[in-house]
Amino acid sequence: MTTLKTLALTAAALAATVAGTPAHAQAKEQFFPVLVYRTGAYAPNGVPFANGYVDYLKYVNAKGGINGVKISYEECETGYATDKGVECYERLKGKNATVFQPLSTGITFALTEKAPGDKIPLITAGYGRSESTDGMVFKWNFPLTGTYWDAADVLVQHVAKKEGGADKLKGKKIALVYHDSPFGKEPIALLQERAKMNGFELSLLPVAHPGVEQKATWLQIRQSRPDYIFLWGWGVMNSTALKEAVATGYPRDKMYGVWWAGAEPDVRDVGDGAKGYNALALQHGAEPNAKITQDILKDVHGKGQGTGPKDEVGQVLYMRGLVAAMLAVEGVKRAQERFGKGKVMTGEQARWGYENLALDQKKLDALGFAGVMRPISTSCADHRGSVWARLHTWDGKKWNFSSDWYEADQSIIKPMIKQAADKYAAEKKLTRRTPEDCQS
């Protein structure tokens, strides 16, 4: 009897699932699952990302698809919750999913365990596990455009430059205010390494999910007065931190956010109070004048098909969604060069494309991304493809770039990646991929 009711419900669920998915099975379309969060605590940041992502897919379709292959996509709401994300993954992967982009470090960790079995690649552009850069162990993960270790390294470099040299960091106090989740903890390993190397003092100040409760943290900051604060926040945590900084009287120009702590929703509410606050730009920042932004305004929003408000186009998180979608599409394009132009790529074939991305300046210019980002090229050993980042500063109205390009110091990061990836491989009893496997 117990199960009778269950079975009835299960049957209903199954029916609903089947009924919900008539479109994708038969059409010859490249299917992109879109994991989003348009509700919940992180929605203010999740929505512009999702809009940018979807708009780019629409834009590609408006331009005739990927070498003639139309794109289809379906959104699934994760609410930033890992178990919901897993459910979405299971729901959408069966439709010949090309690639998943979970937009949550927690979901990334869970899917990292599942993707190799299902042979679906995972792009985690600017988030996820740093050690997954090592493609010899993480065959299906692609932390394209940079990882948190790169981010933390660039921040230290920037601060060192401000101080007038790396040796001046000795004895300085840097506080890491971080979201208490895998996302926030990722940079700690690198910062500790750097603290040892450069002799600064690192204090770790966790903030619990979702990040609105920071009084105790800022009391500690008031006491210890660190020279710099690195802010590893997401969503409402960022604006709360800035408001607390205003209340504490901590100078905003000594605060440096990671690239997920440097978008319009984070500073808009604080307005002038956030003036001078810096954040990393994941290559791109706000790009209202870029060619791709103008094209999307014309070809997608201009035809009344835009997702979300028009004035959001070109903002930081919107651009990040756009870049993430572009990377997803370009990987497929690259895969078509090998497996047949104008064909629908499977996840496995797309994986090859992501592993052999060669987005040089010429291609980027042709795509309309001139000035938005630097070239990216991946390989079997390097699934990240680029270690460049720059900083931008909030002037009270908009984000402006305020630094040159930095390259994360691979002499520190590479051994760490190797060590972490080896540890992972040992735990999982995996062997490193052979050169022959790289050809596949």
Binding site for another protein (CB under 8 A): 1-7, 9-10, 12-14, 16-17, 19-21, 36, 38-39, 43, 47, 50, 74-77, 79, 82-83, 86-87, 90-91, 94, 105-106, 109-110, 112-114, 117, 129, 180-182, 185-186, 188-189, 206, 209, 420, 427-429
What is the number of residues in the chain?
440
Residue 80 C-beta: closest distance to another protein, Å = 9
Q: Cβ closer to another protein: 6 or 220?
A: 6
CA torsion sign, 256 to 259 to 265 to 268? Answer: positive
Q: Cβ closer to another protein: 186 or 244?
A: 186
Question: Closest Cα to residue 144, out of 111, 101, 199, 112?
Answer: 101
Question: Closest Cα to residue 380, out of 352, 355, 410?
Answer: 355
CA torsion sign, 186 to 379 to 107 to 316? Answer: positive
CA distances from 318 to 49, 265, 300, 302, 434 (A): 5, 11, 14, 17, 39
Question: Closest Cα to residue 385, out of 14, 7, 172, 123?
Answer: 123
Q: Residue for token digits 């000594």?
A: 254
Q: Cβ closer to another protein: 94 or 340?
A: 94
Residue 89 C-beta: closest distance to another protein, Å = 9
Distance from C-alpha of 262 to C-alpha of 266, rounded to nearest angstrom = 7
Q: Cβ closer to another protein: 6 or 377?
A: 6
DSSP string for 366-412:
HHT-TTT---EE--SSBSS---EEEEEEE-SSSEEE-S--EE--HHH
Q: DSSP secondary-structure letter at 131?
A: G
Residue 199 C-beta: closest distance to another protein, Å = 22
Beta carbons of 234 and 179 less than 8 angstroms apart: yes
Give me the helix-helix angle, 148-163 and 188-198, nearest 10°: 30
Q: Cβ closer to another protein: 15 or 247?
A: 15
Residue 277 C-beta: closest distance to another protein, Å = 26
Residue 369 C-beta: closest distance to another protein, Å = 27
Beta carbons of 353 and 379 less than 8 angstroms apart: no
Question: Closest Cα to residue 309, out of 35, 41, 32, 50?
Answer: 50
Residue 114 C-beta: closest distance to another protein, Å = 7
Q: Cβ closer to another protein: 165 or 429?
A: 429
φ and ψ of 373, to 5 deg: -150, 170
Q: Cβ closer to another protein: 310 or 428?
A: 428
Residue 24 C-beta: closest distance to another protein, Å = 13
Q: Cβ closer to another protein: 404 or 429?
A: 429
Q: Cβ closer to another protein: 169 or 190?
A: 190
Distance from C-alpha of 178 to C-alpha of 326, rounded to nearest angstrom = 29
Q: Cβ closer to another protein: 4 or 411?
A: 4
Distance from C-alpha of 283 to C-alpha of 293, rounded to nearest angstrom = 16
Residue 297 C-beta: closest distance to another protein, Å = 21
Residue 36 C-beta: closest distance to another protein, Å = 6
Residue 7 C-beta: closest distance to another protein, Å = 8
